[in-house]
Amino acid sequence: MSTRILSEFKKVLNESKNIAVLTGAGISAESGIGTFRGPTGIWRTHNAIDLATPEAFASNPSLVWEFYQWRRTVAFDAKPNNAHIALAKFEEKCNDENRTFTLLTQNVDGLHIKAGSKNVLEIHGSLRKVICTKCKRVDVNLDQPICEALRGRGDPNEESTSVIPISELPKCGKCGSLIRPYVVWFGENLDRNILAKCHEAVESCDIFLVVGTSSIVYPAASFAPSVADRGKPVAEFNIEDSPASSRFQFYFPGQCGTTLPLALST
């Protein structure tokens, strides 16, 4: 990491009143959480993407809940790494200095929350939450397992021997109907309120940080370029540069857990 570039970045960051950060799978990978894409995107014999759809849940809620029981276990057992912690500490610093800090994340693992971040916009939902398929009530649910019928289920190396009846799958605490993970599945729209807050943060920030994401999935892919188009600085922290890296003022290669704490330290 160039000392000169790091010094320039810190100067710009310290002069910024409104800071926005976008994080993706790369930051959580350093905590041992795999991604949907690539060789880690296979669960048992299933492509994980094929299970993260409304159609999959409608046709086989037992299988999908086994998959998400496993995902919840991985996420809940994972610990925030130095990058998560650095962002949480920097948010505290911004609050003390009366500056605005907004964290936009494409991740659903909740590690930013666990690290202590407060102003977090979870674009794709959260494994820490569930939503009722009938009354649409959203609850935080950290139960492990989420229901007794899923105890011992979800192991990616062991195929299910039986289908769990819907009557035994997780239920809504209000109306008793079937609940599902509070995540945005493929083919579904993002939450309008969350998306509006994301656009507000992107359009008002003085500097934008891209952390652990190649930013190829929309609408998140448009955030950093739109900030650059306004003439505001963008800093990217990634193991490899992204298609839009050449448009950004700063690029810090390497693991986020190493580069980010150094860049955000006083």
Which tens digits make up the pLDDT trace of 58-83? 999 999 999 999 999 999 999 999 99
The verdict on whether residue 257 carries a ligand-binding annotation is no
The verdict on whether residue 73 carries a ligand-binding annotation is no
Write down the catalytic residue from 46, 84, 112, 124: 124
The verdict on whether residue 65 carries a ligand-binding annotation is no
pLDDT over 90 (residue 190): yes
Half-sphere exposure of 256 (CA within 13 A, CB side): 29
Q: Phi and psi dihedrals of 255, rounded to 5?
A: -70, 135
Give residues with Cβ within 8 angstroms of 156, minimum separation 6: 43, 44, 70
Domains contained in the chain, CATH given: 1-33+80-124+189-266 (3.40.50.1220), 37-77+126-183 (3.30.1600.10)
Cα distance between residue 194 and residue 171, in whole Å: 25
Q: Confidence band (pLDDT; 50, 70, 90) for 216?
A: low
Q: At what angle do helices 256-264 and 82-96 cross, to 10 degrees?
A: 20
112 is catalytic: no
Q: Output the pTM of the full model.
A: 0.93
